[in-house]
């Protein structure tokens, strides 16, 4: 697999499939670029150049000691774009915490080269419950997550992925093997990267970044998402963007890349074919 080097010397693994209009796919916490494989194949089949990369600290990228904040994450994205020589007509799709890279890139890097974006089960605009964000997730929930990861990192994620994939819920069910893959992938990440990245997506307020997302934007979110509640995120950001289209996946959980893979791939291909 190829790698590129970021401005702070971190080695980031990426992969690409197909030729044509470039679409960069940003994975969610705590997985890797491999979660995008079926979507990449669908895009390549439709004449697109699908690109995905492992966030620093995850997958096969360097376990960097620092840089687990959204300014650095967006700089890493900018460095990938520069390394690949991409200059225009770029699509971005971010799943879960990957939506944060999109929002911060659009503000911090002026959205250079981006002409369309997709936010899938995304944490944008703000996850944390506050007086002015009443639909968010209480701080106590994130505190419990941190405690669980520090107490027994491996056991915590066995339970976490049940909600992540909506086990026993009304949506589409995945195989035990899919959840095992997610657990195995997480175990390859750096524990400090996992903890610091969780703090980043839980507490970063992207509301100041949202006005900078001026390109056509597709928002996709499952109505039964227990990991990133739709009211505080998908519905909220869609209402704040003039050029947004919201598609709600009825009864689906957080991990729509696995529960409704074909539908997600089709919606993304259709969107990026037209925008």
Per the DSSP assignment, residues forming a β-bridge with 119 are 94, 219
Q: Is 140 helix (H, G, I), strand (E, B) or coil?
A: helix
Q: Is 211 helix (H, G, I), strand (E, B) or coil?
A: helix
Catalytic-role residue among 62, 121, 197, 254: 254
Catalytic-role residue among 96, 121, 122, 197: 96
Strand (E) positions, the chain?
A: 3-5, 11-17, 21-26, 48-53, 90-95, 114-120, 217-222, 244-249
69 as an active site residue: the answer is no
What's the burial of 91, exposed, middle or buried (CB within 10 Å: 0-12/13-18/19+)?
A: buried
Residues 6 or more apart in contact with residue 181 via CB below 8 angstroms: none
Q: Is 62 within 8 Å of 11 (Cβ atoms)?
A: yes
Catalytic-role residue among 75, 76, 225, 267: 225
Query: How far apart, in Å, are the Cα atoms of 243 and each of 70, 214, 275?
Result: 24, 7, 11
225 as an active site residue: the answer is yes
What's the burial of 98, exposed, middle or buried (CB within 10 Å: 0-12/13-18/19+)?
A: buried
Cα separation, 239 vs 11, whole angstroms: 37
132 as an active site residue: the answer is no
Q: Which residues are catalytic?
A: 96, 225, 254
């Amino acid at each position: 697999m190829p790698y590129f080097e970021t401005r702070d010397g971190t080695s980031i693994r990426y992969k690409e499939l197909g030729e044509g209009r470039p679409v960069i796919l940003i994975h969610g916490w705590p997985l890797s670029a491999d979660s995008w494989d079926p979507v990449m194949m669908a895009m390549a089949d439709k004449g697109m150049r699908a690109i995905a990369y492992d966030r620093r600290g995850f997958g096969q990228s360097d376990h960097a000691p620092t840089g687990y904040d959204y300014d650095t994450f967006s700089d890493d994205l900018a460095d990938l774009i520069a390394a690949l020589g991409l200059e225009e007509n770029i699509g971005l799709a971010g799943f879960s915490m990957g939506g944060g890279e999109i929002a911060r890139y659009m503000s911090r890097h002026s959205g250079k080269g981006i002409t369309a974006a997709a936010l899938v089960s995304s944490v944008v605009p703000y996850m944390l419950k506050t007086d002015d964000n009443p639909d968010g997730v209480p701080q106590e929930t994130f505190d419990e997550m941190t405690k669980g990861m520090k107490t027994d990192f491996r056991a915590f994620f066995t339970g976490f992925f049940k909600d992540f994939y909506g086990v026993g819920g009304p949506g589409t069910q995945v195989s035990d093997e899919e959840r095992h893959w997610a657990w195995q992938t997480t175990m390859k990440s750096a524990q400090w990267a996992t903890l610091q990245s969780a703090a980043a997506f839980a507490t970063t307020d992207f509301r100041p970044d949202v006005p900078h997302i001026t390109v056509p934007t597709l928002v996709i979110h499952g109505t039964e998402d227990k990991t990133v509640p739709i009211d505080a995120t998908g519905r909220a950001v869609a209402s704040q963007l003039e050029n947004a289209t919201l598609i709600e996946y009825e009864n689906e959980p957080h991990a729509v890349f696995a529960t409704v893979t074909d539908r997600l791939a089709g919606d993304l291909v259709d969107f990026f074919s037209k925008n």
